[in-house]
Structure 1
Amino acid sequence: MVVGLAGSRRELDDAVHTVLGPDAQLRPEQRDALRRLADGDVLLVARTGAGKTAVYAIASLLTGRPAVVVSPLLALQRDQVAALHEAGLRAAAASSAGGAARHRAALEGFAAGDLDILLLAPEQLARPDVVAAVQRAEPGLVVVDEAHCVSEWGHDFRPDYRHVTGLVERLGHPRVLAMTATASADVRRQIVEGLGLRDPAVVVHDADRPGIWLGVHHAATEGERDALVVDLALEEPGAVIVYARTKRHVESLAEALAAAGRPALRYHAGLPPEERQRVERTFLGGHADLVVATSAFGLGVDRADVRLVVHAGAPPSLEQYWQEVGRAGRDEEAARAVLVARAEDVALNRYLRGSAGPRRETLAAVLRCLGDEPMGRAALASATGLAARTLARALAELVDVDAVRRVGDRFAGTGTSVPTAAEAVARRHEHRATLDRSRVELMRTYADTTDCRRRVLLELLGEEHPHVCGRCDSCDAGTSVEVHAGPLRPGQHVRHQAWGGGVVSVVEADRVTVLFESRGYVALDTAVALDSGVLTPDEPHEQSA
């Protein structure tokens, strides 16, 4: 089956049974990813709980060579190492948090062939000793977990993920498997570009979580919003996660819940690390059933019996919303996800998504240090005096406008002047900001629709979902409609008189949302846009029978 990774079906079956158990069968998304991985790089987009860890564990066994896994959080790494140990694989995480001796032991064990899988945080890839140890191990597979973090349009952007490209080049381009639970079409494109995947197969499997009921409440004021959130939490006897927008909001909601008779754990980035770890252990261990948190309580949160996820205000992106909604109902039992939204959420989201980009002086400092002779990051950081994250962002911008070129895991200049490079970066940043602002509007589209919420959300995330779901407040109210026989369909190419080419993202009863390369996401009145000729399909649409 997986000819490029193993020579026989028997070897595949043996690997599956080793990782998943003697009676296990591969799920369709797992089989699809392994089949495509036999031929080249793969981007796998599959919902939480689809068994993505098993894919790389099986692939590693089939190659007969070790694998290196880039994973962003220590909690995720701990869970993955435990799962791999349970499957009988030799795995370890090389983390600075475990102490220098343990970090060194993991690297030495991997280089010596004593480990099957090594897990690393992306920032570890900037360390020469880590890269050298990985090279000595000669891995046959590089895995990038939570790959949406490489996208500046994603909700968890981590510049350190850009180190993966240099590592893959140093290793001679082994297979690369990038994985995430949620990624819209534009985020998928940035993952492919940001990781330097070579002609990858993009495997997108159903992101739907049909067991989660979806609903939205609208509030006119902050007080009304918070009162609705408190009522929802009080009505649910099971485990609840409440997502708030800011640290201050976490504190005020927790106080309101305590006053109403249901004390809540609090979690946000302003708390000391040991307190955050205590909250994680308490909630994930089932010793408390209510937590109020910012989005910092995200990756690595895995408690099976969460019955309700409430958002006190719309998040900045649909990807973030769907990732956080996915904390509910992991035991496959019925669960709910409710957004309590205000019109003012869009303005706050625009502020939260805003970014000034690298300063001209920062770009100039990097360009002045780079000539024809490539330099590594450590040398560049020393020469420029820039912090590692600032340098990573500046290099990413300069590479994207061809003012800097990559040479393995080092960088060299291209002869581009500082004014030319700064102008190109500014243009690119403004274009990205335009698209980013349009993405903020997608949350408004989701919150305001009277159509099937699940269909609208999944189609905005790039999936076809023509039928109503029967598991949302719009379906309960009877306002959802079937639109698969309409004049436009998701994925269809269209052309706007002013904005040029675009792709239909979601179709509602009387409105269509289109992603334009030059403008971002735009919602249009379908009848007006088509009848006036402002919007025309690039190809005729055949009506369904």
Structure 2
Amino acid sequence: MSTPGAPTAARTPLEVLSRVFGYDAFRGPQQEVVEHVCAGGDALVLMPTGGGKSLCYQVPALVRPGTGVVVSPLIALMQDQVDALRNLGVRAGFLNSTQNPDERRDTERAFLGGELDLLYLAPERLRVPSTLSLLDRGTIALFAIDEAHCVAQWGHDFRPDYLMLSDLHRRWPDVPRIALTATATEHTRTEIAQRLDLTNAKHVVASFDRPNIQYRIAPKNEPRKQLLELIRTEHPGDAGIVYCLSRKSVEQTAEFLAAQGIPALPYHAGLDAGVRARNQSRFLREEGVVMCATIAFGMGIDKPDVRFVAHLDLPKSVEGYYQETGRAGRDGLPSTAWLAYGLADVVQQRKMIDESEGDLAHRRRLAQHLDAMLALCETVECRRTQLLNYFGQRSEACGNCDTCLTPAESWDGTVPAQKVLSTVWRLKHERNQSFGAGQIVDILVGKRTPKVEQSGHDSLSTFGIGTELGEVEWRGVVRQLLARGLLAVGGAYQTLEMTPESSAVLKGDRQVMLRKDPERTRTRRSSRSSAPVADLAPEAQPVFERLRAWRGATAKEQGVPAYVVFHDATLRAVAALAPTSLDQLGTVSGVGENKLTKYGDGVLAAVAGDAG
């Protein structure tokens, strides 16, 4: 179990960091946390995925005398974690249900003999009296509680076994504890501190921002085909994770991608354990594998080169969404978080909440989680700003999300909202009927389907009054009314119903501003020019300055930040290439079809020195 001659208890944290892990300096608040725990203090640490949480307990475990005991729910990954540490010369082991008695005895013997620097335990092991007795007989350097959000009952990944971890302090009062998580709102953070008896611990909250991740939410339209286009045009040959709500959808998506030549594998709790283990192993060890999974997959996955995380169904909470998208780009290189979102998602999630077990308070809490997620989807502002604000962090517009790169428009949808609500009201009060979104839209656009005619809905006063919008646009209106609580889903057939807030809209007392879904454009990122973006040739420098001046004037005219028009990197690439045609300009990274149409002539004029 041990590695002879392994570097134990080096003199200082920096010495350990350099000698064992090969880094010259700590990042962000790592040093503050490490020094505090090394000195025997307790800590509650919130850092984004890829922010270096593990070093916050691994380094102190090597500095302090004894063995660092890490409590982790990730049984399936413990072997990989231990193997990675051993590869660094760290003496690491684990105790969990996957071991046979001989393996367990070897690990216990190494722990008691002082031959382990780190010992990983599943939380349920602490229910076993023999495990507690074992820990009593050894020397413990610290307790690290990984994935600490699992203790929060209102969190997105609650694990009952975590509730007993408050006993650690009572049984071993002199052993420092460090709890770590990648996501937690202030409410969840407070719950973690209370349940783990860490209210007096040092609380360290790093920035939640992952600037290398580009957040994008697309209107759902044949999502598997949209996903395929994303992979082929932007991430060919890249590793990625695709999250689906149901096991069936996971398997169908993996089969679809595989049939298109994409190496895709399924992962969900209903698969045989051996199949799950093999698929997970292939994803971690092979290049370019796409894992299609339910949210049962991903926590603790330490694969640094996941280039995209895609959601084909709406996540239930912003915390879950952030945790899942954070599995992309752990190496800090550009990565994509892409979500396909549509009307059916809202209907499905609302229905699941209504049918969920638990009392009214529980359902309200679920609804609050969903409302925050819907607000993120429907915003016309910077998505990153809204995402970080959810975690209590203020920021400026990022310039690297879809709403910054292609600003979404808002429009006064009060009259269309009234037409939808009036149709729902008339069906209920004039016909004692209720229908789903499809029938409402057919009535509004005046579509004489057999269902409309058989029901006599072509005689409603609202029949055909919505021809100013197309069917897709009307579904967008219904989706946003549902998202804002101005419509509700009811009954076994997911029909639309009025809410207490609907009447103010119908009476004209409340304006309804809606988000205009951007038109879908093909992305051509993979064929972009690799023109230099840093050092410019002397002849390109004045071109770059002219482009900056043009960008500044354009941004001022549109009332947007300059980077919303184009990033500096794009302008540098344009200056270096000096294009003379729209086709040439279209090959530059950062120039999409929409921006080519919108700004192309102005850019070419600035390059030529003709911009006035």
TM-score relative to the length of structure 1 = 0.68
Kindly provide the amino acid, as one letter, of the partner of residue 47 in structure 2: A
> In structure 2, what is the equivalent of residue 240 of structure 1?
240
Q: Cα deviations across residues 501-521 of structure 1 (Å, max 9, x unaligned)?
A: xxxxxxxxxxxx9xxxxxxxx
- Alpha-carbon distance between aligned partners in 1 of 2:209 and 2:63, rounded to the nearest angstrom: 30
Q: Residues 130, 276 of structure 1: CA spacing in aligned structure 2 closer, same or farther, 3 A cutoff? A: same
- Alpha-carbon distance between aligned partners in 1 of 2:345 and 2:213, rounded to the nearest angstrom: 24
Q: Cα deviations across residues 244-282 of structure 1 (Å, max 9, x unaligned)?
A: 111011122233334444352111111101111111122
- Alpha-carbon distance between aligned partners in 1 of 2:239 and 2:107, rounded to the nearest angstrom: 37
> In structure 2, what is the equivalent of residue 165 of structure 1?
166
- Alpha-carbon distance between aligned partners in 1 of 2:175 and 2:357, rounded to the nearest angstrom: 36
Kindly provide the amino acid, as one letter, of the partner of residue 233 in structure 1: I
Kindly provide the amino acid, as one letter, of the partner of residue 74 in structure 1: I
Kindly provide the amino acid, as one letter, of the partner of residue 185 in structure 1: E
User: Between the two proteins, what is the percent identity of the paired residues?
Assistant: 37
* Cα shift at 1:468: 0.6
Secondary structure at the aligned position of 1:279 is classed as helix
Q: Cα deviations across residues 189-222 of structure 1 (Å, max 9, x unaligned)?
A: 1111221214122211012111111111122xxx
Matched, 1:16 2:17: yes
Contact residue 46 and residue 206 of structure 1 kept, 8 A: yes
Q: Residues 94, 156 of structure 1: CA spacing in aligned structure 2 closer, same or farther, 3 A cutoff? A: same
- Alpha-carbon distance between aligned partners in 1 of 2:174 and 2:157, rounded to the nearest angstrom: 26
Kindly provide the amino acid, as one letter, of the partner of residue 231 in structure 1: E
Gaps of 5+ in 2: 1-9, 411-483, 485-500, 502-612
Q: Cα deviations across residues 103-148 of structure 1 (Å, max 9, x unaligned)?
A: 2322232233232221100111110001111121141311001111
Gaps of 5+ in 1: 1-8, 358-428, 482-512, 514-523, 525-545
* Cα shift at 1:287: 4.8
Q: Residues 348, 171 of structure 1: CA spacing in aligned structure 2 closer, same or farther, 3 A cutoff? A: farther
Kindly provide the amino acid, as one letter, of the partner of residue 472 in structure 1: C
Q: Residues 17, 288 of structure 1: CA spacing in aligned structure 2 closer, same or farther, 3 A cutoff? A: closer
> In structure 1, what is the equivalent of residue 270 of structure 2?
270
Secondary structure at the aligned position of 2:24 is classed as coil
Contact residue 316 and residue 350 of structure 1 kept, 8 A: no
> In structure 2, what is the equivalent of residue 227 of structure 1?
225
Contact residue 125 and residue 167 of structure 1 kept, 8 A: no
Q: Cα deviations across residues 441-469 of structure 1 (Å, max 9, x unaligned)?
A: 1110111111101111111122222x110
- Alpha-carbon distance between aligned partners in 1 of 2:195 and 2:363, rounded to the nearest angstrom: 18
Contact residue 266 and residue 279 of structure 2 kept, 8 A: yes
- Alpha-carbon distance between aligned partners in 2 of 1:159 and 1:347, rounded to the nearest angstrom: 30
Matched, 1:91 2:89: no
Secondary structure at the aligned position of 2:140 is classed as coil
Q: Residues 92, 261 of structure 1: CA spacing in aligned structure 2 closer, same or farther, 3 A cutoff? A: closer
Secondary structure at the aligned position of 2:343 is classed as coil
Matched, 1:444 2:374: yes
- Alpha-carbon distance between aligned partners in 2 of 1:324 and 1:209, rounded to the nearest angstrom: 13
- Alpha-carbon distance between aligned partners in 1 of 2:174 and 2:154, rounded to the nearest angstrom: 26
> In structure 2, what is the equivalent of residue 193 of structure 1?
194
Contact residue 57 and residue 84 of structure 1 kept, 8 A: no
Contact residue 50 and residue 331 of structure 2 kept, 8 A: no
* Cα shift at 1:480: 9.9
- Alpha-carbon distance between aligned partners in 2 of 1:123 and 1:436, rounded to the nearest angstrom: 27
Contact residue 156 and residue 317 of structure 2 kept, 8 A: yes
> In structure 2, what is the equivalent of residue 463 of structure 1?
393
* Cα shift at 1:355: 5.1
Q: Cα deviations across residues 61-113 of structure 1 (Å, max 9, x unaligned)?
A: 33323221101112432233234324433221012202122123222322332
* Cα shift at 1:290: 2.2
> In structure 1, what is the equivalent of residue 330 of structure 2?
330
TM-score relative to the length of structure 2 = 0.61
Secondary structure at the aligned position of 2:29 is classed as helix
Structure 1 vs Structure 2 CA RMSD: 2.7
- Alpha-carbon distance between aligned partners in 1 of 2:96 and 2:141, rounded to the nearest angstrom: 22
Matched, 1:473 2:402: yes
Kindly provide the amino acid, as one letter, of the partner of residue 222 in structure 2: E
Contact residue 96 and residue 103 of structure 1 kept, 8 A: no
- Alpha-carbon distance between aligned partners in 2 of 1:295 and 1:317, rounded to the nearest angstrom: 12
Whose radius of gyration is greater, 1 or 2? 2
Contact residue 452 and residue 479 of structure 1 kept, 8 A: no
* Cα shift at 1:228: 2.2
- Alpha-carbon distance between aligned partners in 1 of 2:288 and 2:122, rounded to the nearest angstrom: 29
> In structure 2, what is the equivalent of residue 485 of structure 1?
none
Contact residue 34 and residue 55 of structure 1 kept, 8 A: yes
> In structure 1, what is the equivalent of residue 557 of structure 2?
none
Q: Residues 99, 431 of structure 1: CA spacing in aligned structure 2 closer, same or farther, 3 A cutoff? A: same
Q: Residues 127, 350 of structure 1: CA spacing in aligned structure 2 closer, same or farther, 3 A cutoff? A: farther
Contact residue 282 and residue 288 of structure 1 kept, 8 A: no
- Alpha-carbon distance between aligned partners in 2 of 1:331 and 1:205, rounded to the nearest angstrom: 17
Q: Cα deviations across residues 153-200 of structure 1 (Å, max 9, x unaligned)?
A: 222211111121123311225211001112111111111122121412
> In structure 1, what is the equivalent of residue 29 of structure 2?
29
Contact residue 131 and residue 167 of structure 1 kept, 8 A: no
Greater helix proportion: 2
Kindly provide the amino acid, as one letter, of the partner of residue 142 in structure 2: L
Contact residue 149 and residue 181 of structure 2 kept, 8 A: yes
> In structure 1, what is the equivalent of residue 118 of structure 2?
117
- Alpha-carbon distance between aligned partners in 1 of 2:270 and 2:352, rounded to the nearest angstrom: 17
- Alpha-carbon distance between aligned partners in 1 of 2:88 and 2:378, rounded to the nearest angstrom: 46
Contact residue 107 and residue 133 of structure 1 kept, 8 A: yes
- Alpha-carbon distance between aligned partners in 2 of 1:181 and 1:129, rounded to the nearest angstrom: 31
- Alpha-carbon distance between aligned partners in 1 of 2:115 and 2:372, rounded to the nearest angstrom: 48
Q: Cα deviations across residues 328-378 of structure 1 (Å, max 9, x unaligned)?
A: 222322111111012332443456567535xxxxxxxxxxxxxxxxxxxxx
Q: Cα deviations across residues 34-82 of structure 1 (Å, max 9, x unaligned)?
A: 2443463211111222222222122123332322110111243223323
Q: Residues 283, 13 of structure 1: CA spacing in aligned structure 2 closer, same or farther, 3 A cutoff? A: closer
Secondary structure at the aligned position of 1:282 is classed as helix
Kindly provide the amino acid, as one letter, of the partner of residue 453 in structure 1: R
- Alpha-carbon distance between aligned partners in 1 of 2:84 and 2:261, rounded to the nearest angstrom: 38
- Alpha-carbon distance between aligned partners in 2 of 1:234 and 1:12, rounded to the nearest angstrom: 45
> In structure 1, what is the equivalent of residue 155 of structure 2?
154
How many residues matched?
400
Secondary structure at the aligned position of 2:393 is classed as coil
